[in-house]
Structure 1
Amino acid sequence: MAMARRSPPTNRVVAVLDHLVAARGRRLGLSALARELGISKPTCLGIVTELVAAGYLVRDPRTLTYGLGPALVAAGRAAQRSFVAGDVARRHLAPLAERYHATCTASAVVGDEIMVLEAVAPPDAAPVKVGERYPFAPPVGLMYVLWGPDAELDRWLAKEPTLPVRMDREHLRAVVERCRTSGYLVESLTPAGMRLHSLMAGVAAYELPREVRALVGEMVSSLGERVYLGADLNPRRRHPVNLIAAPTYDADGGQELVLTLHVGASVTGAAIARRGAELVAAADAVTAELGGAAPVRSRWASPSGSPSA
């Protein structure tokens, strides 16, 4: 994956926050903050003014000094919950990873990206990096909105795709309905397709020339074609499977994590169903342990009664 371009203005914002975190409660005036960070006072003033307005910093009107704000508390709690959720998911995924000698992961949408929060892998498997990120835009990310409200699915579909994708809306609606009924998703890709999607999942996909993106996009299956429907799986016939995925839910019934069990081989429909049921059981256990609850099915229905893909 190509390294994303760095942003000096963003780096300065991060530097201000990091510096005040390191100050351990000590508040700093504008001049001291600018001097210690090696940036100009006007630049520093613009940064702290925006951070105060957003609640990430507070300004003492008496001493004219700056400190950490309440918005960071909320962000910290959300981050802490993500780590706690990752630890819980790891405990429930470890038995599956051992039983099937397979890599299992727990991931979630963080901002505009998908992030791997936990991974359990056999000793001889290719390592999956915790913290690895991918853009949350078609064709990457269907499983992160699949079991949420239809409005979330629509918002994801409306994002600028990392690659041009063909959209069979009727087929996608059938995929969504089937996965919501079974509780898990089965994704199938050819070996070449898996390598292509792995390559194109990175930010570099946005940076390809338009002609190259269009050409590569023609090689990529549509969203619906990447996913098997449960009704299509013959229990005795072998099917090439990339991975199986199932969701966990938060206290409000919203989709929180996605647990995946990587297969990367051809297995029978019966074996797929067995793995899917065990993964759903693990996801349900994670949901319960974290105080979550599965959504009421009516939350998924759009006014027309089906997802608008």
Structure 2
Amino acid sequence: MSSWSPPTRRVVDVVEFLVQRGEQRCRLSDVARELDLNQATAYAILQELCAGGWTTRDPSSKTFTIGPAFVAMARQLDQTRPLTRSCSAAAQALAGETGFAASVSERLDDVLVVVDFVSAPDAPFRMSPGEQLPFAAPFGPCFAAWDVAEQRDHWVARSGVENATLAAQLEDYLNATRDRGFSVERMSAPMARTVQAMLQLHAEDVSDSMRAHINGVLSEITTAAALSPDGQTAALPVGALTAPVFDRHGRVALNVGVHPFRELTAQQILHIGGQVARHAQAIGVAPPAPS
């Protein structure tokens, strides 16, 4: 990923790395190796973070972990975001009710950030809080579906779609998502990772064969969405069922979803999607009326 300020990006990378490791302590060599930094740079960053209380160093083991100042700041921030806490509670409940992994995500400009992820036994798809996905088709349809027309167009354009028929299918997909109240995302775990990696590339760097693969995935997802869930009998492979949570301004603030990554019948899609939508609706305000 490109950066406006590589030195600042390195600091962010170190903090994110330590957060993801949780209570597991890391040596200087671990940080340098995992983030591809030289040890002098990694040491300077960690020393500065230690000085601010964002990290701590155990003098006996010479290892680092997240420090008390960072933890206190995170807790203070959590207390100011009741919507996020409610979504995390909903994800926990949904994981228990469905047996599937569940997640909470937030949109920050052109990026989707995983706020919380509740795993499930044998889940083929796992993410960690802080991980990012591009806000581009096919990711984040519940953010795009309730957005203004210009942003919906950008969601399609960011995926690099140039085919007018496919672009129209994606628009229909967003309309179906909005009408239904939740998204049905037809995608296997390996497919999700592959498309994510491809979409991280700049449009000009995507080869014709890669573009054809992405278009094939998008077409498959939109074709599934065009089917009537209550009239369809064949089971579909479903990667996610996601619903929007609205803030007091009527904007989509967060998404809550479950990740089956298995085949589901129409009845199962409606039942589980309805569960997700009810949890989401119980958190935020009512969705805005169609314009």
The alignment's TM-score, normalised by the length of structure 2, stands at 0.65
1:284 maps onto 2:277 in alignment: no
State whether residues 252 and 293 of structure 1, in contact with CA within 8 Å, keep that contact through their aligned partners in structure 2: no
Structure 2 CA distance for partners of 1:118 and 1:141, relative to 1, 3 Å: same
Report which of the two structures shows the higher radius of gyration computed on alpha carbons: 1
Q: Structure 1 residue aligned with 2:201, among 181, 192, 206?
A: 206
- The answer for unaligned runs of 5 or more in structure 1 is 19-37, 39-75, 299-309
Residue 44 of structure 1 corresponds to which residue in structure 2? none
Structure 2: distance between partners of 1:286 and 1:250:
9
1:247 maps onto 2:244 in alignment: yes
Query: Considering only aligned residues, what root-mean-square deviation do their CA atoms show, in Å?
Result: 3.3
Structure 2 CA distance for partners of 1:176 and 1:262, relative to 1, 3 Å: same
Q: Secondary structure at the match of 1:223?
A: helix
Structure 2 CA distance for partners of 1:8 and 1:104, relative to 1, 3 Å: same
Q: How does 1:208-247 map to 2 (within 5 A)?
A: 210=205, 213-220=207-214, 221=216, 223=218, 225-227=220-222, 228-229=224-225, 231-233=227-229, 234=231, 236-247=233-244
Structure 2 CA distance for partners of 1:101 and 1:143, relative to 1, 3 Å: same
Structure 2: distance between partners of 1:208 and 1:9:
22
Residue 128 of structure 2 corresponds to which residue in structure 1? 129
Residue 145 of structure 1 corresponds to which residue in structure 2? 144
Structure 2: distance between partners of 1:224 and 1:256:
27
Residues 67-94 of structure 1, C-alpha deviations (whole Å, 9 max, x = no match): xxxxxxxxx9xx6588533321121222
Q: How does 1:102-113 map to 2 (within 5 A)?
A: 102-113=100-111
Q: Percent identity?
A: 21
Q: Secondary structure at the match of 2:260?
A: strand
Letter in 1 for 2:266: G
Residue 295 of structure 1 corresponds to which residue in structure 2? 288
Structure 2 CA distance for partners of 1:202 and 1:80, relative to 1, 3 Å: farther
State whether residues 92 and 285 of structure 1, in contact with CA within 8 Å, keep that contact through their aligned partners in structure 2: no
State whether residues 94 and 102 of structure 2, in contact with CA within 8 Å, keep that contact through their aligned partners in structure 1: yes
Q: Secondary structure at the match of 1:232?
A: coil
Structure 1: distance between partners of 2:86 and 2:279:
10
The alignment's TM-score, normalised by the length of structure 1, stands at 0.62
Offset at residue 187 of structure 1 (A): 1.3
Q: Secondary structure at the match of 1:206?
A: coil
- The answer for unaligned runs of 5 or more in structure 2 is 16-43, 45-73
Paired residue total:
225
Residues 153-207 of structure 1, C-alpha deviations (whole Å, 9 max, x = no match): 1233344x3x556452432333222221110111113x4xx42431341488416
Q: Secondary structure at the match of 2:261?
A: strand
Offset at residue 286 of structure 1 (A): 1.6
Structure 2: distance between partners of 1:5 and 1:174:
33
Residue 95 of structure 2 corresponds to which residue in structure 1? 97
Q: Secondary structure at the match of 2:264?
A: strand
Q: Structure 2 residue aligned with 1:263, among 260, 266, 269?
A: 260
Q: Structure 2 residue aligned with 1:86, among 84, 87, 96?
A: 84
Residue 49 of structure 2 corresponds to which residue in structure 1? none
Residues 4-35 of structure 1, C-alpha deviations (whole Å, 9 max, x = no match): 356546629989xx9xxxxxxxxxxxxxxxxx
Structure 2: distance between partners of 1:284 and 1:297:
16
